[in-house]
Structure 1
Amino acid sequence: MFKSQISSTYHQAKRYRQIMNVLIKYGFGYLVEKVGIIMPKGFKQKNIDPSGKLTTPQKIVMMLEELGPTFVKLGQVLSTRPDLLPPDYIKELKKLQDNVAPFDFNEAKAEIEEELGGNMRNIFLVIDKEPLAAASIGQVHKAVLKNGDEVVIKIRRPGIEEIVNADLEIMLNLARLVEKHIPEAKIYDPVGKIEEFADAMHKELDFTREGYNIDKFRQNFKDDETIYVPKVYWEATSKKILTLEYIRGYKISELDSASENNLDKRKIAENGARAMMKQIFIHGFFHADPHPGNIIIRPDGKIVFIDFGIVGRIDKYTKDKIADLMIGIINKDVKKITDVLLEISQSEQEPDISKMELDIEDLLDRYYGKELKDVNASELLNEVFIIVAKYKIILPSNFTLLLKAIITIEGVGLELCPDFNIFETAKPFAKRLLRQRYSPEYLAQSAVSTMQEFNKSLMLIPKLINGLYQRTKINSIKIDFDTPGTSKVIIELHKMVNRLVFSLIVAALIIGSSLIIQANVGPFFYNYPLLGVAGFIIAGFLGVWLIISILRTGRM
């Protein structure tokens, strides 16, 4: 074990040196010095671009490609964060390719047999030796199961987990150095961002997670006649191996040559966009990278999403904010757009709101008079991101991932149909979500949730008082409850708590009565629900009583 630790430390030190070497090679030696790393004496600084013809974003892309798969993945993730990086950097980072040379079939065979146990011929009749595709994490082979089913096998690249783990540890250490030595970088939370990236990478390395993602999508779309999700063969799946149903169909780029099947490209574009909106606004679970290479169109016109290694999850709050943002853009409501961006912001410092609103208004003015169908969502959202970056507003990663997915699926739609518009598809979903927000069921749930939160807060008061008392004891601060004036404070505290509880009861009566009247539940009194009317009357009396009580004390 001790020998293993020495070996690990040696390899990590060697990798550190290699990374520093590459940083300096591409002209980023000043960053190495700035974070406090001292290079050995006699270290030669090579410069890949002595003539200065390459732009900084181009050099970064070349550097990430040279550093290997973990850094390429980081670059791909950063390409989805226009709130963190300028447009020219995003444009170059999008060019990062994850295609690498395939590994030998004998290695693939060894991985299959180790993971699934025994000879692979016990499970597969045949496996194609030539891979269908190869990437940094793994590669895909076509095969046939013993029962005759055609499948594809995704096999994890041997040794990739060790490489990724070592690189992630180095990235985290570098992020800590950046936070320590470059104070202006703290606003972007580099350590937090790398920890988030590391978590995503660990999940992507575990193919069983991708299998669970596929099963969840399959369940979500089981009643949708326009979408098909491939089956996972769990008997031939493990952490390093994923076996899926083989799908026959066409890539987006092949649809023109598939005209003999009478496939309606406009309908496919609309169905794909609707599927994306369902994932976002209904399921809260979406394919995070729906680019043309991850979409297959079956001969019957059904859309098949593939590669579920990266998915996004959004909670109810984020869904509401996306709906608000969409409606704000559709209605060209400057204040709503600004409010949404600020509400979800993770920034510690507040921007100049008036200037920000002027910039958003200027952006929307460029679309004034245009029909919704004539507005390009990708261009508009990218310009919103430019404003976000300008005012250093840091958005949650799942929010930017979601907007990036919307932009990507619009690109697919435009490739299929030049006058396709994602806003037209999103509008009914966003409006439906907003309608649900004001439904009796939603209001009732919100009222119950609010009352529970108030109850929790009230329950904390004795604990807080006891904590204060204990601290005064520890600090030898004596409070004499017999001291003149002290008892008066206690009495006033009791009154305050009683009024708070009384106010909550009145509020609960008003909310409950409103819901009963809106739900139109009998028995009725002059065509109004009797319980609702009675609740309002009781709440009115109690409210007047509370106001009179407050006025008598002379304190509002």
Structure 2
Amino acid sequence: MDWVGGAVGGFFVFVSTVAMLVLLAWASRRVMGAPVGWVRAALVSLVAITGASGALTGGLRAAGWADDDGVLAVDPWVALVAIVLVFAWAFVLGLCVLLVLEVLVPTGTVPTPWRAVRRLRQGRRETRRYAQVMTIALRHGLGGAFGRTRRADGTTTSRTDVRRLAVGLRDTLSDAGVTFVKFGQTLSTRRDLLPDAVTTTLATLQSDVPPAPPDQVADAVAEALARPVDEVFAAFDPVPLASASVGQVHAARLLDGREVVVKVQRPGAREQVAVDLAILGRLARRLERDTAWGRSLGVVALADGFAASLREELDYSVEAENTRALRAGLDVVTHDGASSGPLVVVPEVVDGPSGPTLLVLERLHGTPVGQAQALLAGLDAGSRRELADRLLRAALDQLLVAGTFHADLHPGNVLVLSDGGLGLLDMGSVGRLGEPERIALGSLLLAIDGDDAIAATDALLELLDPPAGLDARRLEREVGQLVLRFRAGAGAGAAFAGLVRLVTAAGVAVPPQVAAAFRTFAALEGTLDLLSPGYDLVAAARDEGRPLLSRLVTPEAVRRKVTQQLMGFAPELERLPRRVTRIVSDLEQGRFTVAVRAFSDPADRAFLSGLVQQVIMTLVAVGAVVGAVVLLVADGGPMLAPELPLFTVLGAALGFVGTVLAVRVLVLALRGTSRDRW
């Protein structure tokens, strides 16, 4: 039975110790007022308890208050006071250790063991992939692009060097895989940031992705449907119509006989994209840290924006929503105000089987513009120009009237349909402009058409985010020169790229949706040129855009806008005469006063309250510590026990309170200066 009693006693000690650790860890987190990790707080508490227990046992024996067998030689209440003070100061020392740890190594920077194991496995994969990408870059001569050094003579890079760098970058991205190819294709549209030689070279990047094996595709479709494929599709072609980095497209037929296309996400695409995006982020951070050109281009922001876009592309439900939004604005009004029907066709989304990894769309029979040169060659010049006019009119209607626009109208995303019409594909990249942005964009086009640099500058500033201290006169002069380029027949892509370069050089931030609208014109220009060689986008935009812009400022539209605003102001307008009468009466009788409520904002009150609390807590902490020091060094006074003055006990207790308050004040101060670390 002795072993049973010993086991029960050991279990009781274990439970008591765990309870004490949890209590101390909870008290530490509450006193510090910071999200200290539970594991860290428990470990520090364990060390504090162990140290306090050893110090207490040795101290009692050294003072003669207990013998070697642990029998007390003093009053138990005196021993209890000593025990409480020792553990209280151990608690204070633990708080100080936690404070130092939080300053040096904040909670969350050191992963938990299970998270560390998971990161280790992922890190090994990322490291291998990172080494592979760096090897490819070095093989194509990009080693110097990652260096910290500058040219010794301070000269700038020559055009030959830029072209060589562009070719090396293109080949590196091409060999590095599909994610990097898509990043290069994205960079090729950023003529506002990169030299023309680089963007032109990157525009030749093509993603040659072999299709996934048919059995893997069938499994992926069945998994996305959560049921067998033949329960949804009467026929499913295992040979894809197109294959891309993230997904591939297959022809199919529904049970009701409708012909559809099925866009299915490639097996393992999410995992591969996650690894590649992590590598891309590491490369971007290294380039921005080590190179001047990386900092000037803001490659980290570029990589982050691309990563966000690609992660959104992995969710096909977003593309389905974009497709529905574009279909909702298809009907276009003609010059005389009648509905002409849709100028382009957007496929209908089949809602039932569509989901995050599977998208089922109405099938459009046609040929992409980039592959339709033989078909277009059989049309006369007038028919080809009519196709180009229809595409431009549809794009302008989306930009200026509907507000939801296809942001990637390159030749592969526009179909020449078998009935002679046009269709749009791949609605993964869609932009949205609110009414103020649409009006400002329309005003910009009108100002360019009217050769009005002042109005164009005003419209630009409405579209963009101008900084404080902007030199508006200088920007106005530069916009005037750019307007002349527009009117002189400069390509729309180059002109809009120059416009973005101009405003970014002036320190003006370009919102992403506005930048997408500008890039739409650049992508559209190449497609229109294939439809109708020599097509003048700028001149045609002036002709096609006037009736659309007039719809934004018709008397009926203005009257409706004013009516809506007046409806909101109606209650205030009804009270206005009475309020004016009261003000005039108070002025006549000398009773007019203005009442100002200080700190009426809750945030201001909270700031002031926190500041007062911190000051009071600081004063109390300083007073307690000073009082403790005075009591501890004081001679004489009553004795609680032999060699234990009352002043010493009071000084230790007061010092405990002062130190705890001081730790709290330091925590508040550190949280105020570095909130991102707490």
Report the TM-score when normalising by structure 2: 0.59
Alignment match of 1:246 (pick from 351, 363, 383): 363
Query: 1:308, CA displacement in angstroms?
Result: 0.9
> Are the counterparts in 1 of residues 192 and 501 from structure 2 also a CA contact under 8 Å?
yes
Counterpart in 2 of 1:395?
510
Counterpart in 2 of 1:530?
none
Query: 1:365, CA displacement in angstroms?
Result: 4.0
1:134-191 per-residue CA deviation (whole Å, 9 max, x = no partner) reads: 1111111212222222221212121111111122223334444445555775565444
Alignment match of 2:307 (pick from 183, 186, 198): 198
- Output the amino acid matched with 1:318: E
In the superposition, relative to structure 1, how do residues 119 and 170 fare at CA in structure 2: closer, same or farther (>3 Å)? Answer: same
Alignment match of 1:462 (pick from 561, 577, 600): 600
Counterpart in 2 of 1:551?
none
Larger radius of gyration between Structure 1 and Structure 2: 2
In the superposition, relative to structure 1, how do residues 82 and 256 fare at CA in structure 2: closer, same or farther (>3 Å)? Answer: closer
Query: 1:103, CA displacement in angstroms?
Result: 1.9
- Output the amino acid matched with 2:531: L
Counterpart in 2 of 1:34?
148
1:57-72 equivalences in 2 (<5 Å): 57-72=166-181
1:315-345 per-residue CA deviation (whole Å, 9 max, x = no partner) reads: 2333233223212211122233334445555
1:143-158 equivalences in 2 (<5 Å): 143-158=252-267
Measure the CA separation in 1 of the matches of 2:166 and 2:459: 30
- Output the amino acid matched with 2:197: D
1:378-402 per-residue CA deviation (whole Å, 9 max, x = no partner) reads: 4433443454465565522322221
- Output the amino acid matched with 1:65: S
SS at match of 1:337: helix
Counterpart in 2 of 1:75?
184
Query: 1:422, CA displacement in angstroms?
Result: 2.5
Counterpart in 1 of 2:203?
94
Alignment match of 1:408 (pick from 523, 527, 550): 523
SS at match of 2:277: helix
Tell me how many residue pairs correspond in the alignment.
Answer: 452
Counterpart in 1 of 2:346?
229
Counterpart in 1 of 2:127?
13
> Are the counterparts in 1 of residues 147 and 291 from structure 2 also a CA contact under 8 Å?
no
In the superposition, relative to structure 1, how do residues 348 and 258 fare at CA in structure 2: closer, same or farther (>3 Å)? Answer: same
1:42-90 per-residue CA deviation (whole Å, 9 max, x = no partner) reads: xxxxxxxxx9896211211111112222222222222222222122222
Measure the CA separation in 1 of the matches of 2:507 and 2:200: 19
Measure the CA separation in 2 of the matches of 1:419 and 1:94: 21
Alignment match of 2:277 (pick from 168, 177, 184): 168
Counterpart in 2 of 1:294?
413
Counterpart in 2 of 1:381?
496
> Are the counterparts in 2 of residues 83 and 395 from structure 1 also a CA contact under 8 Å?
no
Measure the CA separation in 2 of the matches of 1:427 and 1:88: 35
Measure the CA separation in 1 of the matches of 2:403 and 2:228: 41
In the superposition, relative to structure 1, how do residues 227 and 184 fare at CA in structure 2: closer, same or farther (>3 Å)? Answer: closer
Alignment match of 2:447 (pick from 320, 328, 338): 328
Same amino acid, percent of matched pairs:
27
SS at match of 1:34: coil
- Output the amino acid matched with 1:34: R
Query: 1:97, CA displacement in angstroms?
Result: 1.6
Report the TM-score when normalising by structure 1: 0.71
> Are the counterparts in 1 of residues 485 and 495 from structure 2 also a CA contact under 8 Å?
no
Counterpart in 2 of 1:487?
none
Measure the CA separation in 1 of the matches of 2:526 and 2:558: 35
Question: CA RMSD, aligned part only?
Answer: 3.7
In the superposition, relative to structure 1, how do residues 87 and 434 fare at CA in structure 2: closer, same or farther (>3 Å)? Answer: farther
> Are the counterparts in 2 of residues 57 and 92 from structure 1 also a CA contact under 8 Å?
yes
Unaligned runs of 5+ in 1: 36-50, 453-457, 478-556
> Are the counterparts in 1 of residues 447 and 456 from structure 2 also a CA contact under 8 Å?
yes
In the superposition, relative to structure 1, how do residues 181 and 419 fare at CA in structure 2: closer, same or farther (>3 Å)? Answer: closer
In the superposition, relative to structure 1, how do residues 451 and 394 fare at CA in structure 2: closer, same or farther (>3 Å)? Answer: farther
SS at match of 1:141: strand
1:343-399 per-residue CA deviation (whole Å, 9 max, x = no partner) reads: 55558686765554444333444566x6xxx67534433443454465565522322
Query: 1:298, CA displacement in angstroms?
Result: 3.1
Measure the CA separation in 2 of the matches of 1:237 and 1:309: 14
Quick check: 460-469 or 221-230, which moved more? 460-469
1:25-49 per-residue CA deviation (whole Å, 9 max, x = no partner) reads: 33333444439xxxxxxxxxxxxxx
Measure the CA separation in 2 of the matches of 1:84 and 1:354: 24
Query: 1:284, CA displacement in angstroms?
Result: 1.4
Unaligned runs of 5+ in 2: 1-113, 150-159, 332-338, 572-595, 617-678
- Residue 387 (structure 2) pairs with residue 268 (structure 1): yes
> Are the counterparts in 1 of residues 163 and 197 from structure 2 also a CA contact under 8 Å?
no
Measure the CA separation in 1 of the matches of 2:555 and 2:318: 32
Measure the CA separation in 1 of the matches of 2:490 and 2:569: 39
SS at match of 2:427: coil
Measure the CA separation in 2 of the matches of 1:182 and 1:91: 23
> Are the counterparts in 2 of residues 80 and 401 from structure 1 also a CA contact under 8 Å?
no
Measure the CA separation in 2 of the matches of 1:395 and 1:155: 34
Query: 1:426, CA displacement in angstroms?
Result: 2.1
Measure the CA separation in 2 of the matches of 1:349 and 1:462: 28
1:425-484 per-residue CA deviation (whole Å, 9 max, x = no partner) reads: 1233234335589824434656788999xxxxx99961276457546745769xxxxxxx
In the superposition, relative to structure 1, how do residues 381 and 157 fare at CA in structure 2: closer, same or farther (>3 Å)? Answer: same
> Are the counterparts in 2 of residues 20 and 32 from structure 1 also a CA contact under 8 Å?
no
Counterpart in 2 of 1:140?
249
